[in-house]
Structure 1
Amino acid sequence: MEAHKKNLLILHLTVFVWGFTGVLGKVISIDAVPMVWYRVFIASITLFAWFQLTKTSIRITQKQFLQFFFTGGIVAIHWIFFFHAIKISTVSVTLVCLSSFTLFTAILEPLIKRQPIQAGDILVGLLIILGIYMIFKFEGHYTLGIIFGILAAVASSLFGTINSTLVQKTEPSIISFYELVGALFWTTLYRIYDGSLLSMHFNLSTSDWFYLIILGTFCTSVAYVAGVSVMKTLSAFQVALITNLEPVYGIILAFIFFQNNEQMTTGFYAGAVIVLAAIFLYPIYKKWRNKI
């Protein structure tokens, strides 16, 4: 029982750290693409050091490597869209839009796994669409940020669905490492193409380096390893329910750090409540459906 309580606390802290990612995305001064490049570079090194320290074998087959490597490209796109949405709108708007990944997962997962789409999934999806529509209506000046936030959600649901299949055969931490390496490769390739990497001098401010190291280590590598470890004693339902607190923690943190810049219209909060209520009800509905 003590281990169960300990892992519940660890999971809450992990989700809190994930919620803090949005705040870091706002305070780091560089654009989304170089930010993601630094993030995956630091996270890859950190995870590799972790494997060396724990003497964990990272050997995989060529087929697995290619699967993880190309999925890493989707992870990179997700993070680039996520941070770009934050840069051109607010943390709160981006996090609520990102929560719509539940809707896209409900659509993509049955298609990829060739399963029937459930009526309850459609209902939850309609609630999320209603909430996002209200945000569009009352926060029209953040239209581009909302679009990129939704695109980030689509990418998140896509690689999440792919990983739900891959994780059946490989340790999640190994998958994460090779996906980070893949994300680093594809981001590097893009930065060579646009010329930004060739002209980079690594002359970031002290604060940017500090926040990037936190983002790459604690918010990516450490949080991921911690998030995986708690699954030994917690049910998938508990993990899903607590993970849904990420946008709540993120919005609260954003309001604390940025205050007036994160104040929205009443319509936004009404839409946000609908979206968050839908994603909280979704795992409860899924658990109930599985019992039938």
Structure 2
Amino acid sequence: MSASSFFRLVLLASIWGGSFLFTRIAANTFGPAFLIEFRVGFALLSLLLVAVYLKRRLAFKRHYQHFFILGLLNTALPFTLFAYAAQTLNASTLSILNSTAAIWGAIIAFFWHRTQLTPKGMTGLVVGIIGVGILVGVDGARIGSHSIPAIFAGIMAAFCYGLATNYTKTAPNIQSFDNAHGSMWAATLWMLPLLFFMPMRGEPTPIEWTSVILLGVVCTGYAYLLFFRLVTDEGAASALSVTFLIPMFGILWGYLFLDEPIGLNTVAGTGLILAGTMMVTGFNPKALTTKRKSTR
């Protein structure tokens, strides 16, 4: 991996780790529906401006079914579930639960595409589940029984990402930028009905509005562009390694800006989840280092 790609990888992880910080800040005032509608709306505007600048026309009508499925599974549903969970859970816990998406992807692939798991992969599943158990068990005891629905929502959000990943294997062959652009249009439409049932809970402060704007423009719109550049330059497997860096930044930003504690269970649970995820996906950090040195 080149030095510029490695920089983009770390930058992307820091941005997506920050998304849980901004979600945590704004969730209680905006409520899940309005928060995510504004998030995907700002992201849509960002990608639309890029599309206009690049003179890329989106064939939404031709692939509308695909965009609506992708917009639901990869954006509207998981974003809303995380926004709901953010009303109770801290940013650190949210980012760690998000990292289980790769494990869910492997489990779904086993049943959907009959993709066999190696003994190492099976061991990774067990290790990852133990990590989730440690994190969820201690956090649930500390926060109280009302945290259980929020924890379940966070896990189901990661499940949606795993489901979306497997769906794309059978989806039409559409370029990544168009997938992001089209799915944002679809996600914006998916969220509209929820606005009537999940109203805003108060008047947002300037900090909360700033968080929502950054969440849409930077953490969604700009982040997608970074990710697509990584996929183009280094391949999907290398770009996927961002998953393992996100919890580190999610925990760091939560500690620095929200004074969230870093307990032993957070460290242990994160370590086990990341180790299990690496075993399931077959990711080897040394491969990145070797590739990076070879490009110097």
Q: TM-score range by the shorter chain?
A: 0.7 to 0.9
State the secondary structure of the residue aligned to 1:170: coil
Could you tell me which amino acid in structure 2 is paired with residue 208 of structure 1?
A: E
Where does structure 2 lack aligned partners over 5 or more consecutive residues?
287-296
User: How far apart in 1 are the matches of 2:210 and 2:271?
Assistant: 34
Match 1:188 to one of 186, 192, 203: 192
Higher relative contact order (CA 8 A, sep 6+): 2
User: How far apart in 2 are the matches of 1:224 and 1:285?
Assistant: 22
**Contact map agreement 1:82 1:94 (CA 8 A) in 2:** yes
Could you tell me which amino acid in structure 2 is paired with residue 279 of structure 1?
A: T
Residues paired across the two proteins, number: 278
Note the alpha carbon deviations across 1:112-159, whole angstroms, 9 max, x for none: 324334433322111111111112332222433321111111111111
| Alignment correspondent of 2:289 | none
Distance 1:287 1:256, change over 3 A: closer
C-alpha displacement of 1:251: 0.9
| Alignment correspondent of 2:49 | 49
| Alignment correspondent of 2:290 | none
| Alignment correspondent of 2:225 | 225
C-alpha displacement of 1:70: 2.4
State the secondary structure of the residue aligned to 1:233: helix
Match 1:148 to one of 144, 153, 157: 153
Note the alpha carbon deviations across 1:157-201, whole angstroms, 9 max, x for none: 1112223443x7111111111111111111102223x273xxx7x
State the secondary structure of the residue aligned to 2:40: helix
Distance 1:98 1:230, change over 3 A: closer
**Contact map agreement 2:48 2:181 (CA 8 A) in 1:** yes
| Alignment correspondent of 2:182 | 178
| Alignment correspondent of 1:208 | 208
| Alignment correspondent of 2:164 | 159
Indicate the percent of aligned positions where both proteins have the same amino acid.
Answer: 19
Note the alpha carbon deviations across 1:27-86, whole angstroms, 9 max, x for none: 123212210010111111211111011101212563x22111122122211001112212
| Alignment correspondent of 2:68 | 69
Where does structure 1 lack aligned partners over 5 or more consecutive residues?
none
- Root mean square deviation of aligned Cα: 2.5
Report the TM-score, using the length of structure 2 for normalisation.
0.85
User: How far apart in 1 are the matches of 2:191 and 2:61?
Assistant: 24
Distance 1:42 1:242, change over 3 A: closer
Distance 1:195 1:238, change over 3 A: closer
